[in-house]
């Protein structure tokens, strides 16, 4: 149980920061070209990831915010829902591999002319 308690801040930070980092990568990548739908899901993922981290903070410090048991459980359910949405985005993105290398059209055109 101690291991989970020590890893909780790490997971909370990763769940909050990684959607923002991936969104920045998808939007500003110069090596790969991403389709519009991939950009949209990661733009949507930014507030979801930030909300997930914020709820984690509230739930971890519920005594100082005077959160009752009923509200605690509602916030915990909301946090798990947000986690599921982010996990769904990651799964869709990983399965689809929606990118192509920048400049790949030029290489294909060159190969077609030679062949």
CA terminus-to-terminus distance, the chain: 63
Cα 48 to its chain centre, rounded Å, is: 8
Q: Given this model, what pLDDT does residue 29 score? A: 87
Hey, which bits of 63-108 come out as E strands? 100-101
pLDDT tens string for the chain (115 positions)?
567 677 777 877 888 888 999 999 999 988 888 889 999 999 999 999 999 989 988 888 888 888 899 999 999 999 999 999 999 998 998 888 877 887 766 555 555 555 4
Q: What are phi and psi of 97, to 5 degrees?
A: 45, 65
């Amino acid at each position: 149980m101690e291991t989970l308690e020590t890893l909780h801040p790490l997971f909370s930070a990763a769940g909050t920061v990684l959607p923002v980092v991936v969104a920045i990568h998808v939007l500003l990548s110069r090596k790969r070209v991403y389709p519009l739908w991939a950009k949209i899901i990661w733009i949507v993922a930014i507030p979801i990831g930030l909300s997930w981290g914020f709820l984690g903070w509230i739930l971890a410090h519920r005594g100082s915010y005077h959160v009752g048991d009923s509200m605690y459980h509602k916030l915990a359910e909301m946090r798990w829902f947000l986690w599921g949405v982010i996990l769904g985005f990651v799964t869709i993105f990983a399965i689809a591999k929606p990118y192509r290398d920048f400049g790949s059209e030029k290489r294909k055109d060159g190969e077609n002319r030679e062949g």
